[in-house]
Structure 1
């Protein structure tokens, strides 16, 4: 584990009533501690989990459009508005890793294709061929299996977006292999990924942000209730 703490620099914030500082979870944020090699961020859309993850990526020096420190390309939506207002505490400091944004992965794949025009060997880190020549799920798993094998910190924003349930299960195995020499922080809605054992889960739906047990997450409870009472749920929703 490398990243031990994220602290919000409240004294630097001059517009606390403006986005993103007015998001309840961000507004109440003081210090967030990391004690496990695998940490999950959970919460409803707009709860601030992706905002904080992006800010951490910014402070790590990663491209906030997705990628690592050496992946420099432009994407208009990649501004990390919280990035200058947090401080990271490391032990030890590490510069290697990757920031995955599911929503901008297409642009990252274009960037890799551009680099490969000059050096085709770059595809070795992505399964041996263009990410665009693989299905969405295959390209994600190729990235995880090949690029993520090094020591580093890996920040993943909703990686389940391209993964079927079966591939989410396969990703659990990849997480297990990675966590031996890497730290992973994952923002997710997936009850499958959240089931990874011995991970910390931070809920952004409570203020301040706090740890929550897997079985207490809405993701687990709603999915379980639906699967156990599918007909009743559908009758209430549709009729």
Structure 2
């Protein structure tokens, strides 16, 4: 059966790897990676810091032609060479349809994307200002959270492949709910998401595939089986009990 989703499978070409003792192949999630079959709508990469989820997400984005520091496929700026060469070892299976839109969001380098937009708009051009596609207001003149929302609301146009690295970083719980709603609007408009996140709010999206990155590798899990859900639930059910355990000296 021919797949119609934008990305259907991510595989590691293990025979090309010279050593699994070197970064990024030494990361447990990468070292054990064979293949991941993606959901056509929403996919979450979850796990502890350093588990390899952002490294794999970045490699997928670069393999699809996105700038390593974020942005669309038309962005070609670079402030610091920090991405790994993992993308050279991935085999990414695509469906028959090609996305009409796309964006790679990295929370840690979104400031650089906003600066690049201003730099491009300062250059002579016969077209409309680039910032018009982001809501018309400088992303630097908004809070981090407001600029993230402006991106999702104005720049993401649907029928796209959207790769997001910790989009909740600057968002309040209320704003995360707004992002969840926007993701659903875009899914209904034939979009596919791959999201690395720590947010139990975002990963609650119905029918999404959640891939948990652990010391033993990558496995697909149910929402209620994620540590993020369990720890948050236990804390909110009895915060005083958990605080007593954490703060008792």
TM-score of the aligned structures, taking structure 1 as reference length = 0.96
Q: From 88, 91, 100, give the equivalent of 2:92.
A: 88
1:186 aligns with 195
Once structures 1 and 2 are overlaid, which stretch shifts more, 115-124 or 63-72? 115-124
Q: From 131, 141, 153, give the equivalent of 2:161.
A: 153
Q: From 48, 66, 70, give the equivalent of 1:44.
A: 48
Secondary structure at 1:179 match in 2: helix
Q: From 211, 216, 232, give the equivalent of 1:223.
A: 232
2:24 aligns with 20
The answer (yes or no) to whether the contact 1:64–1:80 under 8 Å persists in 2 is no
Secondary structure at 2:44 match in 1: strand
Secondary structure at 1:204 match in 2: strand
CA drift at 1:36: 3.3
For residues 176-215 of structure 1, the aligned pairs below 5 Å read 176-180=184-188, 181-205=190-214, 207-215=216-224
The answer (yes or no) to whether the contact 1:63–1:72 under 8 Å persists in 2 is yes
CA drift at 1:235: 1.3
CA drift at 1:80: 3.1
Matched, 1:111 2:116: yes
1:64 aligns with 68
2:141 aligns with 133
Unaligned residue ranges in structure 2 (runs of 5+): none
How many pairs does the alignment contain?
239
CA drift at 1:84: 0.4
The answer (yes or no) to whether the contact 2:7–2:40 under 8 Å persists in 1 is no
Q: From 100, 103, 125, give the equivalent of 1:98.
A: 103
The answer (yes or no) to whether the contact 2:51–2:215 under 8 Å persists in 1 is no
TM-score of the aligned structures, taking structure 2 as reference length = 0.92
The answer (yes or no) to whether the contact 1:36–1:200 under 8 Å persists in 2 is no
**Structure 1 residues 142-173: Cα deviation after superposition (integer angstroms, max 9, x where no partner):** 00111111322100000000111000000010
Detail structure 1 runs of 4+ shifted over 6 Å in the superposition.
Answer: none
Secondary structure at 2:85 match in 1: coil
